[in-house]
């Protein structure tokens, strides 16, 4: 095998490596506001993120104090679906609660 073939093999290896990198994870981030009732936020966290009341209340309070907080980390498809569900649920209940997606 010649020098150039060996060189080509190493390039091929690098390409394969980059293709098997683990998929990106996406954070669903909840934003604070001055109007959404705390109980509603706790309900959202239980309903859409499967949290028990204690964990949901802890995240709600963290968001209330810090301005925003992470509800969970998911694949892009699941994170996008949860953001849509939460924002739609908030809209139909006439609360300004917002959540958004951030790359982890």
Helix (H) or strand (E) holding 16: helix 3-19
31, with CB counted inside 10 A (0-12, 13-18, 19+), is middle
**Cβ closest to ligand TYC, residue 28 vs residue 63:** 63
Q: Does 51 bind ligand TYC (CB under 6 A)?
A: no
Does 36 interact with ligand TYC (rule: CB under 6 A)? yes
Q: Is 27 left (phi over 0), alpha (psi -120 to 50) or beta?
A: beta
> Which listed residue (60, 71, 79, 86) binds ligand TYC by CB under 6 A?
60
Stretch that binds ligand TYC, among 3-11, 24-32, 45-53, 76-84 (CB under 6 A): 24-32
CB of 36 to ligand TYC, least distance (A): 4
Q: How many CB atoms lie within 10 A of CB 11?
A: 8
- Residues near ligand TYC, by CB under 6 A: 30-34, 36-38, 41, 60, 63-64, 97
């Amino acid at each position: 095998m010649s020098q150039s073939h060996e060189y080509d093999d190493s390039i091929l290896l690098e390409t394969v490596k980059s293709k098997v990198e683990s998929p990106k994870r996406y954070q669903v981030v909840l934003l604070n506001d001055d109007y959404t009732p705390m109980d509603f936020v706790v309900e959202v966290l239980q309903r859409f993120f499967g949290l028990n009341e204690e964990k949901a209340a802890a995240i709600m309070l963290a968001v209330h104090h810090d301005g925003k907080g992470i509800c969970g980390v998911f694949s892009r498809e699941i994170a996008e679906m949860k953001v849509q569900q939460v924002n739609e649920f908030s809209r139909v209940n006439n609360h300004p609660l917002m959540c958004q997606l951030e790359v982890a």
